[in-house]
Amino acid sequence: NKGVVLKAHPKGMPKVDEHFELVDRTIDIENLKLGENEFVLRNLYLSLDPYVRLTLKEHEPKHERTINKASKKQLVQIGQIIIGAGVSEIIKTNNPNFKVGDLVYALNLGWEEYSHIKSDATSNFFFINKDLLKDIPLSYFASFIKRGGLAPYASLKYIGKPKEGETIFVSAAAGFVGQLVGQIAKIKGLRVVGSAGSDEKVDYLLNELKFDAAFNYKKTDLNKALSEYCPNGIDIYYENVGGQTLETVLNHCNQFSRIVVCGMISQYNLPFNEKYGVKNLEIIFLRSITMQGFIVSQYLGTDIQNEFEKDFTEWIKAGKIVYREKVIDGIENIAEGFVNLFDGRNIGRTIVKVSDY
Ligand code: NDP
């Protein structure tokens, strides 16, 4: 059973050789005696999520208030398998609610070929209806149909509250979340403007995803670009980046606008004392702005998840959602795929194919 463990806690950018180690730990599946509610899963596809970087840091009691209790529990120790999520096949269980051969999207996996799940299994498992596989590739369930797409769908709908004709600005727009937010916003009739870090990504946003405007934030002054592309101001800012980007965007936000805080990727690799202090937060009350964050798990298992799956499967079948994913082959390449999330090379979602189905 090949897997990847944490070798050392990264301080800045994670590095494949310094911080990760490929191990091969035998698991005797045939003779393994399972306790109640235990499972052995064969992992098929694992998704690569930037938030995992937050679980790799050393616990710093001094800065405890920066992480909530749940994420403290998730911190990975040296020698432990890195946490992961994705699509798996149940190959052994004595839980009567599941059977061997079922496909599930599981939240509590590791970066490994087989996962022996010992506790809190069922609330972290979501059945995959095999009938859908004739229209939708299995990899899409790891990428976005179960959890990934729920983040942009639910947060835009319930925090962003989009109205036809409004303007939305999306940062990291060619990333996994950004590309879906932009397309959902187009379906809802908004003017969609996005920023991304390369000309290739800008081209993808304009020509494939049909954004109304997009620009390369590394080549363009953000303030000028927002004045030009959002002439009526911003009604919804979909925040993926944080730091100085947030500070600049705030100046363009309209009265009663909404800021959906999905993530702040520009801050994740910075030590606490070097995180960017946004200087114009008073605009939030001066313009009656609502700024709200969320964690996708709060929507899992709710009616919103059902709404999302229904809308998304219809949109995909109708060709309303263009979707790009990068599939990396083999668990031995997972650490490299993860590290590359932070250098801006990826367009859309990166997932790892661990095993054939
Ligand atoms: P992706 O890995 O798909 O894309 C990340 C992109 O962010 C990169 O390709 C890069 O694109 C951009 N980026 C990376 N570093 C920086 C930086 N320092 N400054 C500006 N841009 C940067 O990410 P996702 O779409 O999966 O995630 C986007 C955000 O949403 C993240 O902050 C993530 O943590 C968060 N998230 C939150 C969830 C929740 O439940 N709240 C759920 C899922 C994701 P570019 O070339 O444009 O710079």
C-alpha span between 266 and 69 (Å, rounded): 23
pLDDT given at position 342: 86
CA distances to 148, 246, 251, 305 from 177, in Å: 8, 17, 24, 16
Q: For 272-308, how does the pLDDT look when each residue is reduced to its tens digit (9 = 90+)? A: 899 999 999 999 999 999 999 999 989 988 999 999 9
Shared domain check, 162 and 28: no
The model's pTM: 0.84
What tokens appear for 93 in the block? 């269980």
Shared domain check, 155 and 54: no
Q: Residue 318: inside a domain, yes or no? A: no
Out of 297, 316, 333, a domain closes at: 297
Number of domains in the chain: 2
Q: Whose CA is nearest to atom 9 of ligand 1?
A: 344
Q: Residue 135: inside a domain, yes or no? A: yes
Q: How many A from CA of 197 to the centre of ligand 1?
A: 11
Q: How many A from CA of 253 to the centre of ligand 1?
A: 21
Q: How many A from CA of 240 to the centre of ligand 1?
A: 6
Residue 218 CA: nearest ligand 1 atom is 48
Shared domain check, 106 and 207: no
Q: How many A from CA of 340 to the centre of ligand 1?
A: 12
What tokens appear for 129 in the block? 């209806």
Q: What is the CA radius of gyration of the chain?
A: 21
Q: Residue 319: inside a domain, yes or no? A: no
Hey, which of 170, 177, 239, 341 would you mutate to test ligand 1's pocket, going by the most ligand atoms within 8 Å of its Cβ? 177
**Is residue 205 within 8 Å of residue 347, measured between CB atoms?**
no
**Is residue 267 within 8 Å of residue 275, measured between CB atoms?**
yes
Shared domain check, 259 and 158: yes
Which residue range is the domain that position 55 belongs to? 2-146+324-353
Q: Domain with 337 in it: what CATH number?
A: 3.90.180.10
C-alpha span between 111 and 122 (Å, rounded): 19
Q: How many A from CA of 241 to the centre of ligand 1?
A: 7
Beta-ladder partners of 3: 23, 112
Ranges in the chain, pLDDT < 50:
70
C-alpha span between 198 and 263 (Å, rounded): 20
Residue 345 CA: nearest ligand 1 atom is 9
Shared domain check, 285 and 160: yes
Hey, which of 216, 240, 296, 323 would you mutate to test ligand 1's pocket, going by the most ligand atoms within 8 Å of its Cβ? 240
Residue 49 backbone phi and psi in degrees, to 5: -120, 130
What tokens appear for 72 in the block? 């403290």
pLDDT given at position 144: 86
Shared domain check, 160 and 140: no
Q: Which of 74, 86, 29, 60 is nearest to 349 (CA)?
A: 86
Q: Residue 317: inside a domain, yes or no? A: no
Q: Whose CA is nearest to atom 39 of ligand 1?
A: 295
Q: Residue 76: inside a domain, yes or no? A: yes
Residue 275 backbone phi and psi in degrees, to 5: -65, 150
Q: How many A from CA of 35 to the centre of ligand 1?
A: 39
Shared domain check, 279 and 170: yes
Q: Whose CA is nearest to atom 35 of ligand 1?
A: 263
Q: How many A from CA of 246 to the centre of ligand 1?
A: 14
Cβ within 8 Å of residue 154, ≥6 positions away: 294, 296, 299, 304, 305, 308
Q: How many A from CA of 171 to the centre of ligand 1?
A: 8
pLDDT given at position 297: 86
Q: Domain with 190 in it: what CATH number?
A: 3.40.50.720
Residue 310 backbone phi and psi in degrees, to 5: -65, -50
Shared domain check, 159 and 139: no
C-alpha span between 314 and 23 (Å, rounded): 41
Q: How many A from CA of 177 to the centre of ligand 1?
A: 7
pLDDT given at position 136: 87
> Amino acid identity, residue 225?
A
Shared domain check, 154 and 142: no
Q: Residue 245: inside a domain, yes or no? A: yes
Shared domain check, 287 and 176: yes
Out of 260, 278, 297, a domain closes at: 297
Shared domain check, 226 and 162: yes
Binding-site residues, ligand 1, Cβ < 6 A: 50-51, 151, 172, 174-178, 196-198, 201, 240-241, 262-266, 294-296, 341-342, 344, 346
Shared domain check, 217 and 161: yes
